[in-house]
Amino acid sequence: MQLSALYRYPLKSARGESLASSPLEALGLRGDRRWMLVEPESGRFLTQRLLPQMSQLTALYNADGGLSLSAPGFGSLEVALPHPDEGLRGVTIWRDSLRVPDAGDAAAEWLSAFIGRPCRLVQAPESRTRQVSDERKREIAQPSQRQPPARSTPPTPSRATGWPFPTAFRCC
């Protein structure tokens, strides 16, 4: 197998960043999809499917695990990595629920103004990640037995990769 490009998506459904290389960790590429926007009340995750303007949101992973956010007309915002056991918020990803740290009011206000609706920014520390079922691990480990998706467009970044171990905020 040969890779033609390598991208990291620090914030689920935001723009990716091109990488020359990246260390692999238990959850995949260092910093990949560890952050996510959620509805403040329900904790349901938000994606480009519902909010296409998220495609204009740039989120760069910092060496300390935080994010550098930027968007057209909104300048930039530095978001520190929250403590893994403080400010926990209940979130729902499909049928899974977990409690993860909230990144605070400044990030929520900046992001809410950009996407045009209230939201919260949350982060998935390794100790609080979403687990993949044994059945899904087997599917991922044997991709030749999976049927290709019936679609005429390339897969979205969140569906482009799968890992045979726990995931942070991957949708599948």
pTM value is: 0.75
Exposed / middle / buried, residue 80 (Cβ in 10 Å: 0-12, 13-18, 19+)? middle
Q: Residue 54: pLDDT band by 50, 70, 90 thresholds?
A: very high
Tell which wins on pLDDT, 97 or 138. Answer: 97
Q: What is the pLDDT of residue 161?
A: 40
Q: What is the pLDDT of residue 31?
A: 87
- SS3 call for 42: coil
Question: Strand 28-29 relative to strand 24-25: parallel, antiparallel, unpaired?
Answer: antiparallel
Q: Residue 13: pLDDT band by 50, 70, 90 thresholds?
A: very high
Tell which wins on pLDDT, 109 or 171. Answer: 109
What does residue 108 show for φ and ψ, rounded to 5 degrees?
-60, -45
What pLDDT, in 10s, does the model give residues 101-125? 999 999 999 999 999 999 999 998 8
- Provide the b/e sequence for 28-61 (b: ≥16 CB within 10 Å): bbbbbbbbbbbbeeebebbbbeebeebebbbbbb
